[in-house]
Amino acid sequence: MSVGHISTPTMAFCTRHVVRGFSSSALRPAVIKHVMIIGGGQMGAGIAQVAASTGHSVTLVDTSEEILNKSVKGIEGSLKRVVKKKFADKPEAGAEFIHKVLQSLSTSTHAESVIQSSDLVVEAIVENLKVKQEIFGRLDKLAPQHTIFASNTSSLPIADIASSTSRLDRFGGLHFFNPVPMMKLVEVIATPATSQETFDSLLNFSKVLGKTPVSCKDTPGFIVNRLLVPYMLEAVRLYERGHGSKEDIDIAMKLGAGYPMGPFELSDYVGLDTIKFIIDGWCEKDPGNPLFKSSEMLNKLVSEGKLGRKSGEGFYKYK
Ligand SMILES: CCCCCCCCCCCCC[C@H](O)CC(=O)SCCNC(=O)CCNC(=O)[C@H](O)C(C)(C)COP(=O)(O)OP(=O)(O)OC[C@H]1O[C@@H](n2cnc3c(N)ncnc32)[C@H](O)[C@@H]1OP(=O)(O)O
Ligand SMILES: NC(=O)c1ccc[n+]([C@@H]2O[C@H](COP(=O)([O-])OP(=O)(O)OC[C@H]3O[C@@H](n4cnc5c(N)ncnc54)[C@H](O)[C@@H]3O)[C@@H](O)[C@H]2O)c1
């Protein structure tokens, strides 16, 4: 399906004299123009929006047209909010901006037919190692030499995901924050095998998106989640012990610590299914660590299909 016009794919750089995807004459980072985003959920749609808004040609991939239609509707809604501020006094320029962004965005349910023209693949699908490995392993066989692969995983080791491919030097992490159009940070993650050129390309790409990148090692939780997850888990344990209501804990952290959302509001915003994937994964890797012990309350909500804002109910109700 095409949302807008798909421009003719141009290679980011000449394939002649290419060593590991980089020009041998000068080992410089690749220019990223054509981006494939896999996963049209909260994160993938946000990344696609920001990439299309900053001069990239973007294809958003998901498993069904229905999901992709919903993603595009969400992007249109978010663009309207952005334009309301950015073009407050120039509504026509705002409408033109939205039109141009949507022209740069296409959707597809078939990643294989898009990969040939992709300089960068950003994966933002379900937080499951096997599923991520399967998709990257399949695309690796079809992708051009120069194509860089990146995962937006919250909690999985980038090296484990990359191990399903033969391009360990052209594989890194790009960890965006939710909501992507508003959050300025991107964690750029290098594994021991990520080449300097790949890392520089990912740093540069993040800057072109208007974000502030920070460099991270491929360690559990990178920087933000290594600090955020224990805080959030401690909040749910405090609540489970009956030492504070979720409402009071949220108010306390907003008014006492200056956070824009309390831990329960933020959990509902992130998605309780994603959070459960994160905790279960860490618990499996480090079963003796009390820090990552699973939460009965969280497990119950997920088993009832209460996944937070996206399902209409989580810790709170949204209907
Ligand atoms: C307790 C349970 C325990 C369980 C254990 C948990 C462990 C695991 C947790 C780890 C999860 C990791 C997830 C991931 O890897 C990392 C993350 O992404 S963490 C999440 C980071 N994000 C945040 O912390 C968000 C914090 N919230 C905010 O910054 C703000 O609340 C908000 C989202 C920007 C919204 O602001 P509000 O003021 O609340 O609401 P408004 O609706 O008024 O919006 C303000 C302003 O922003 C514009 N806006 C908001 N969203 C969008 C959007 N999507 N697109 C475009 N514009 C948007 C809006 O228009 C407003 O503009 P204005 O009117 O002010 O001009
Ligand atoms: N939610 C957050 O706050 C947040 C923040 C940063 C990073 N992340 C990470 O980003 C990733 C996505 O999270 P999300 O919140 O956007 O999830 P989500 O559930 O909103 O979206 C995931 C999307 O991936 C699609 N998908 C699943 N398998 C697929 C496949 N094989 N091919 C194509 N599409 C597929 C699903 O249909 C869905 O639309 C996860 O790895 C998560 O850990 C999430």
Residue 52 has pLDDT above 50, yes or no: yes
Asked if residue 3 is part of any domain, the answer here is: no
Active-site residue flag, 110: no
Atom of ligand 1 nearest to the CA of 79: 56
Question: 199 and 291 share a domain?
Answer: no
Catalytic residue among 57, 206, 225, 267: 225
| CATH of residue 144 | 3.40.50.720
39 is in an annotated binding site: yes
Active-site residue flag, 187: yes
Question: 274 and 155 share a domain?
Answer: no
Question: 174 and 206 share a domain?
Answer: yes
Contacts 24+ apart (CB under 8 A), 306-312: 306/272, 307/271, 307/272, 307/273, 308/267, 308/268, 308/269, 308/270, 308/271, 308/272, 309/268, 309/269, 309/271, 310/42, 310/271
Total tally of structural domains belonging to the chain: 2
Interface confidence (ipTM) of the complex? 0.97
Residue 135 has pLDDT above 80, yes or no: yes
Residue 53 has pLDDT above 90, yes or no: yes
Range of the domain at 28: 18-217
Q: What is the pLDDT of residue 22?
A: 44
Lowest-pLDDT range of 75-89, 235-249, 283-297: 283-297
Please give the structure tokens belonging to residue 58. Answer: 């973007």
Question: Which of 188, 217, 246 represents a domain boundary (last residue)?
Answer: 217
Phi, psi of 235 (to 5 degrees): -65, -45
- For a ligand 1 pocket test, name from 270, 275, 283 the mutation site with the most ligand atoms within 8 angstroms of its C-beta: 270
Asked if residue 137 is part of any domain, the answer here is: yes
Rounded to two decimals, what is the model's pTM? Answer: 0.92
Question: 121 and 237 share a domain?
Answer: no
Asked if residue 316 is part of any domain, the answer here is: no
pLDDT tens figures, 255-277: 999 999 999 999 999 999 999 99
Question: 196 and 249 share a domain?
Answer: no
Closest ligand to C-alpha of residue 311 is 2
Question: 195 and 299 share a domain?
Answer: no
Question: 307 and 275 share a domain?
Answer: yes
Mean pLDDT of the chain: 91
* Per-residue confidence band for 12, with pLDDT thresholds at 50, 70 and 90: very low
Residue 285 has pLDDT above 50, yes or no: yes
